[in-house]
Amino acid sequence: MGYVICLGGMIGVGKTSYTTLIAQHLNSEAFYESVDDNRLLDLFYNDRERFAFPLQIYFLNTRFRSIKKAMRHKNNVLDRSIYEDALFAKINFEDGMMKEAEFDCYLDLLHNMLEEIQELDHCTCPTGPKKRPDLFIYLRASFETIMERIEKRGRDYEQDPSHVNYFRRLHSRYDDWVFNHYKESDVLIIDADRIDITREEDAAEFLEILDAKLREIDEKETARLVQKVSYK
150 is in an annotated binding site: yes
190 is in an annotated binding site: no
Three-state SS for 93-112 is: HHCCCCCHHHHHHHHHHHHH
33 is in an annotated binding site: yes
CB atoms within 10 A of CB 24: 12
Which are the catalytic amino acids?
79
17 is in an annotated binding site: yes
15 is in an annotated binding site: yes
Whole-angstrom distance, CA of residue 68 vs CA of residue 47: 31
Cα 32-76-152 angle, rounded to 5 deg: 30
The separation between CA 42 and the C-alpha centre of its own chain, rounded to angstroms, equals 21
152 is in an annotated binding site: yes
185 is in an annotated binding site: no
1 is in an annotated binding site: no
Whole-angstrom distance, CA of residue 198 vs CA of residue 110: 35
13 is in an annotated binding site: yes
How many CA atoms lie within 13 Å of 210's alpha carbon, on the beta-carbon side? 26
2 is in an annotated binding site: no
Instruction: Determine whether 136 is exposed, middle or buried from the number of CB atoms within 10 Å of its CB (0-12, 13-18, 19+).
Output: buried
Whole-angstrom distance, CA of residue 76 vs CA of residue 19: 10
Binding annotation for substrate: 33, 45, 56, 80, 85, 158
